[in-house]
Amino acid sequence: MADSPYLVTPGSKFSLADRPTDDAGPFADKKEGKAATEANLELLDELQERLYAEGKHALLVVFQAMDTGGKDGAIEHVIGAVDPQGCVVTSFKAPTALELAHDYLWRVHQAVPGKGMIGIFNRSHYESVLVERVKKLVPKEVWSRRYRHINDFERLLADEGVTIVKFFLHISKDEQKRRLEARLADSKKHWKFNPTDLKERERWDDYQAAYEEALRECSTKHAPWYVVPAGKKWFRDFVVSDVLVRTLKGLKMQYPPAPPGLDRIVIE
189 domain-assigned: yes
CA distance 174 to 237: 20
Question: Please, which residues have CB within 8 angstroms of residue 56's CB and are 6 or more apart in sequence?
Answer: 115, 116, 161, 253
Domain that holds residue 27: 16-264
CATH label of the domain that carries residue 40: 3.40.50.300
174 domain-assigned: yes
Rounded to 5 degrees, what angle do the CA atoms 66, 72, 75 make? 120
Q: Using one digit for the tens of pLDDT, what is the confidence trace for 129-181?
A: 999 999 999 999 999 999 999 999 999 999 999 999 999 999 999 999 999 99
Burial of 233 (0-12, 13-18, 19+ CB in 10 A): middle
Bridge partners (DSSP) of residue 62 are 121, 166
9 domain-assigned: no
pTM: 0.95
254 domain-assigned: yes
Bridge partners (DSSP) of residue 163 are 59
Helices 233-250 & 30-54, crossing angle to 10 degrees?
30
pLDDT for 240 equals 98
Q: HSE on the CB side for 10, CA within 13 Å? A: 10
208 domain-assigned: yes
pLDDT for 2 equals 44
Beta carbons of 129 and 143 less than 8 angstroms apart: yes
195 domain-assigned: yes
Walking along the chain (268 residues) 10 residues at a time, the average pLDDT comes out as: 80 91 94 97 97 97 97 96 96 94 97 98 97 96 98 98 98 97 93 89 97 97 98 98 97 92 88
pLDDT for 1 equals 41
pLDDT for 45 equals 97
Beta carbons of 165 and 121 less than 8 angstroms apart: no
Amino acid symbol at 71: K
Residues in the chain: 268
Amino acid symbol at 153: F
pLDDT for 3 equals 66
Q: Tally the domains of the chain.
A: 1
11 domain-assigned: no
8 domain-assigned: no
